Amino acid sequence: MTQQDIARMTGVSQTTVSIVLNERDDAAVRIAPETREKVLAAIRRTGYVADPIARRLAAQRNRFLGVFTYEPVFPAGLGDFYHPFLVGIEECAERIGCDLLLFTSASVVDGRRRIFSQDNRLRLADGCILLGRWLDPEELARLIAEGQPFVSVGRRDDAGGPVPYVGADYPAATAAQVRRAVELGHRKIAYVGEGGGPESHADRFRGFTDAVARAGVAGIHVKPGKEVLSQLITEQVTAVFAEEFADGALLADEAVKQGLRVPDDLSFVALGDPTRPASTDLDFTGYRIPRREMGWQAVEVLSAILEGAGGDHQRLLPCEPVAGATLAVARA
């Protein structure tokens, strides 16, 4: 989309479009209010962004990479989780000689940011890294349809075409923890979490259910709530797999308060790093998400897309096992 395209759409000259874009009046050309509004409406509708720097480059690139976050990344409660992703993104961008633009002006609808808002400026960047536990499938489909280069940090389902992503291999990491629990004699284990919604949750649950079925042990799914511990005790569960670290920490603390020994009476496995504040003295068994590496490789994949290079634009990285001290031999 160019200024000439906007001019043809609105039936005015390119000079008029330029004057409106630069928010100035020209002595030689007076812009009627209705004409100005017609041009502005076309600009909003098409998402046009003037990019004079890029036009000066032979490669038509300004070496700006965007970072769009569906959730705030700087508040203290979330900062620790998103920080390693941002470190990896920054380090790789510096390595390849690109600057970063953090898009923060997107409109919030139903508590979530939206890419395609009235003031969408995504085209200022050559391409964009998308961060968030949940990404809008409709917006992903529109990005694909419009040919806008982007890479998601985290695996995403099909959205009208293949979604470029760099994610964590949650199914394999979770299955490995299930096998370890089975080796220690656990025959009835529970998955505590939603088990659906964001792909990261669904992937964990899929890894759990597949591994339980292969091992031939009993696995139950319990959603977080007030009576979870009572249900686990009634079901005679010996190991708990917590989808969210914070839920596992709260549940383990409640178990200790009720006189249970962790891990002798009840073992716990945390499926990833805390996404919200979690206060605990326990050294949880589980795995770590390769967050810094995911951020780094997301920039690598985006750079390859911008260069028109082939290769793997969908990557899953292994998680790092954490031995911890909350998984023990199953009680008799």
Q: Can you tell me the mean pLDDT for 300-308? A: 91
Distance, in Å, from the CA atom of 71 to the CA atom of 74, rounded to the nearest integer, reads 9
- The larger pLDDT score, comparing residue 30 to residue 270, is at 270
The predicted model gives 16-32 an average pLDDT of 68
- Copy the structure tokens of residue 149: 């280069």
- Point out the least confidently predicted range of 49-63, 136-150, 177-191, 224-238: 49-63
- At 69 the pLDDT is 87
- Mean pLDDT for 240-254 is 95
Res 219 pLDDT > 80: yes
> Which residues are bridge partners to 268 per DSSP?
240
Q: Is the pLDDT of residue 54 over 50?
A: no
119 pLDDT tier (thresholds 50, 70, 90)? low
Domain with CATH 3.40.50.2300 in the chain: 56-168+292-319, 170-289
Bridge pairing between strands 314-317 and 267-271 = unpaired
Instruction: Report the mean per-residue pLDDT for the chain.
Output: 87
Q: What is the pLDDT of residue 52?
A: 45
Q: Is the pLDDT of residue 99 over 80?
A: yes
- The mean-pLDDT minimum among 115-129, 174-188, 248-262 falls in 115-129
Residue 111, pLDDT score? 64
**What average pLDDT does the segment 116-144 reach?**
84
Domain 170-289, CATH number (from 1.10.10.60, 3.40.50.2300, 3.10.20.310, 3.30.70.270): 3.40.50.2300
CB atoms within 10 A of CB 31: 16
HSE (side-chain half, CA atoms, 13 Å) at 149: 21
Taking alpha carbons only, the member of 205, 258, 199 closest to residue 227 is 258
Instruction: Indicate where the chain has its CATH 1.10.260.40 domain(s).
Output: 3-48
pTM of the model: 0.79
Residue 110: which region, alpha, beta or left (left: phi > 0; alpha: psi -120 to 50)?
left
Which residues face 222 on adjacent strands? 192
- Which residues contact residue 207 at a Cβ distance below 8 angstroms, ignoring those fewer than 6 apart? 170, 171, 172, 173, 174, 175, 178
Angle at which helix 76-95 crosses helix 291-306, to 10 degrees, equals 40
CB under 8 Å to 319, separation ≥6 — which residues?
168, 169, 170, 172, 173, 272, 287, 288, 289, 290
- pLDDT of 152 higher than 60: yes
| Banded pLDDT at 50 (limits 50, 70, 90) | low
Copy the structure tokens of residue 32: 């009627």
CATH architecture of 56-168+292-319: 3-Layer(aba) Sandwich (3.40)
- CATH number for domain 3-48, candidates 1.10.260.40, 3.10.20.740, 2.130.10.10, 3.40.720.10: 1.10.260.40
pLDDT of residue 55: 42
- 71 touches 113 (CB < 8 A): yes
Q: Which of the residue ranges 29-38, 234-243, 267-276, 280-289 would you say has the lowest mean pLDDT? A: 29-38
